[in-house]
Amino acid sequence: MWQHGKPDLTRSGRSAFAALMGEVPNFEAIYRVPATHRLVVVRYRSRGGLERAEYWLHQKYDPAGRLVARYESFDELNTGGERRSGWSKFDHTGHLVHQSKAHFESRHEQSRS
C-alpha cells in the first residue's frame, strides 16, 4: 500500500521492491521479535534505476514502551542480477550486538528457487 507517494511499511512490512521481487520481508520473523514487543519502521529509502536497493531502519520497543534495540537492513540488486541483503542489530545505546552475514544470490540461484 502506498501513502503520500511512499510505501506504507508500518502495517505490512511490504515494500514496492519486495513486491516486484515476489517477496514480502517479515522483519518480525527475521529479527525474531517476541510477540510482546513492538517493531516500528523509523526510516525507509529506496534507490531505483539499473541497480535497485532498499534500506530500512527499525526500532524495537519492550511492553513498557522502552527502546531496546535498533535494526538496519538492506536489500540490493545489481545490473548483473546478483542480489545482496543483510541486517545489523544495535542495543539501545547504539552498540552493535549482532550482524547477519551478507547474503549473496546470483541470477542462476534465483532461477532455481
Compute the distance between CA of residue 89 and CA of residue 91 in angstroms, rounded to an integer: 7
pLDDT tops 60 at residue 8: no
Do 68 and 56 meet the contact criterion of CB atoms below 8 Å apart? Answer: no
Question: Which tens digits make up the pLDDT trace of 30-88?
Answer: 999 999 999 999 999 999 888 899 999 999 999 999 999 999 999 999 888 888 899 99
Please tell me whether the overall predicted TM-score, pTM, comes out greater than 0.75 for this model: no
Coil, strand or helix: which one is 96? strand
- Give me 83's grid cell: 542480489
